[in-house]
Structure 1
Amino acid sequence: IILYQPYGKSVDWWAFGVLLYEMLAASRHFDGEDEEELFTAITTTMCPYPKVMSKEAVTICKGSVGSCQVNCPYPQFLTKDTKKRLGCSPAGEREIRDHVFFRRIDWDRVASRDVQPPFKPRIKSARDVSNFDRQFTDEAAKLTPTDKLFIMNLDQTEFTGFSYVNPEFIVDAWADAARA
């Protein structure tokens, strides 16, 4: 995307790999002072993998343990070659489900919603943020200002097939519009 080239589902697997890395490593995969530096980092650099990450975690993100980037024995999410990216072969998501990182996952039980989550946060209300680090909840929100009627005037046919609408948002949006 950032190179302005045609793209497909491979960008989604890349994004999933970045998210997975950030959750496993507890740090950002790519960094930059501004958008240009960030894009340069994404297209040209390889970042280190913390020693605390398991071999399986490294192989699903990077492809192999060590500095191997060429001829890695496993497909990986964060390879820059989209043809070699995990999930982009003809096997598709089967390749991901069969990866050693997910060896303990019973995909049939997941599909039938018969798996208990390893952690279920306790919340007091829909607006309870006590499970998030105060570093983030204490930050002031930086919202892009929009015309109050902008969202309500969007062509809703663009969202055909989407079923979820946050009821709190609708109530808040209509209340704001009524006050305007």
Structure 2
Amino acid sequence: MTAARSSCALGAKVGGSGTTGGGDGDDGEGSARAARDQSGERRLVHLNLGVLESVATVGTGTFGRVVLVQDRKTKSYFALKSMKIVDLIRLKQQQHVHNEKEVLMEVNHPFIVKLYWTWHDERCLFMLMEFIPGGELFSYLRSRGRFTNDMGLFFSSEIVCALEYLHSKNIVYRDLKPENILLDRHGHVKLTDFGFSKKLVDRTCTLCGTPEYLAPEIIQGKGHGLAVDWWALGVLIFEMLSGYPPFFDDNPFGIYQKVLSAKLNIPHQLDFYVKDLIRKLLVVDKTKRLGNLKGGAEDVKKHKWFQSIDWDIVPQRKLKPIIVPEVAHDGDSSNFEVYPEEKRRKEPAVSQQDLEIFKNF
């Protein structure tokens, strides 16, 4: 099992224990109350940061931190992602942040993490999301070495449904990997970290993602679309069942060369049908890649590896999970790695010109 990979843009940060300060400048009253708008999607009708108390840091990244927080009034738990504006601008991640908000505001699916609220002050951007207590799929894969065929089949089925949903809205995910797949307390998947996702109007040419999971057309920079997610699914299935990705090297350029050659050495012990599926997903020519053919996601779902799956019940979360996380309560963070708390220090406020970039956040 390889060490955790880093993407071009990682998750976010919020620092320190105690209360996450400030908010919208009031006395800290209010609470995080979920409501449903006319589209049926859950949204917060009112919130300020003063009602949220930090419990534990559950993720860190290049320019931010994710903290498990609890609403002081309702006692509900959330994941608060905060990103330092000065670092976002320095690393040229403005558009990725806007894309993430735009996509998460639009989607509503059982296998995709929910976004409830966004806000910014003069220093940071904030995104409040549902907290998924089961931890990363990566952690379970690392501890087991590799998954059984049945485990891989279960996780792949739920992920296929999530990708099919995103693609139906012309949204490309672009960061499928075990680190971005969370398990809820019952063992069902939740895709998270949509910083690289994008609503497609035409092809896009941005080089982003994790080297081991990049499709050939991303590396070539000739423009790419929804097909890159089906390539990543092939990489994910390979890694889940073998314990390592199909293309790896000590440096990214070595990985890119192997991806473009697409020479596969699939472990002989894998199921016959899954080996066939992997070969049909990891096709360099995207016009011949399963999932990107005329039948779209249906072609993937009809593959013989999935022949035991009743696709009607998958999005209803009626498939029986094989791994059920140990979760003591809704705010249990024990399934995540322990991160040191960030020393509380007040970042310098950004200029009004820089703040204007995020005025609609």
TM-score, with length taken from structure 1? 0.64
Amino acid at match of 1:31: F
Aligned counterparts of 1:18 and 1:59: Cα–Cα separation in 2: 13
Given the superposition, is the C-alpha separation of residues 35 and 106 from structure 1 closer, same or farther in structure 2, using an over 3 Å criterion?
same
1:113 aligns with 2:317: yes
Structure 2 residue runs without a partner (length 5+): 1-217, 341-346
Instruction: Give 1:78 deviation, angstroms.
Output: 0.5
What is the rounded CA distance, in whole Å, between the counterparts of 1:29 and 1:111 in structure 2? Answer: 29
CA distance in 2, matches of 1:93, 1:119: 25
Match of 2:291 in 1: 87
Percent identical residues: 25
- The count of corresponding residues between Structure 1 and Structure 2 is 131
Question: 1 CA distance for matches of 2:304 and 2:335?
Answer: 34
Equivalent residue for 2:326, pick from 111, 117, 122: 122
Q: 1:9 and 1:103, CA in 2 relative to 1: closer, same or farther beyond 3 A? A: same
Cα offsets for 1:121-180 (capped at 9, x unmatched): 1123532138xxxxxx5899xxxxxx7879xx673757xxxxxxxxxxxxxxxxxxxxxx
Matches within 5 A, 1:70-81: 76-81=280-285
AA partner of residue 30 (structure 1): F
Q: In 2, are the aligned partners of 1:60 and 1:99 still within 8 Å (CA)?
A: yes
RMSD: 2.7
| In 1, Cα distance between equivalents of 2:359 and 2:294 | 34
Rounded Cα–Cα distance in structure 2 between residues aligned with 1:156 and 1:101: 48
User: CA-to-partner distance for each residue in 1:45-77, whole Å, 9 max, x for gaps?
Assistant: 413111110001101101xxxxxxxxxxxxx11
Distance in 2 between the 1:92 and 1:45 partners?
22
Deviation at 1:120, TM superposition (A): 1.3
CA distance in 1 between counterparts of 2:296 and 2:266 reads 26
Q: What does residue 46 of structure 1 align with?
A: 263
Show the 5 A alignment for 1:27-176: 27-62=244-279, 76-124=280-328, 126-129=332-335, 155=358
Q: Gaps spanning 5+ residues in structure 1: where?
A: 63-75, 131-136, 141-146, 159-180
Paired residues of 1:77 and 1:85 also in contact (CA < 8 A): yes
Structure with the higher fraction of residues in strand conformation: 2
Instruction: Determine which structure has the larger helix proportion and give its number.
Output: 1
Q: Distance in 2 between matches of 1:12 and 1:100?
A: 20
- Structure number with greater CO (CA < 8 Å, separation at least 6) is 2
Correspondence for 2:98: none
* 1:12 maps to amino acid: D
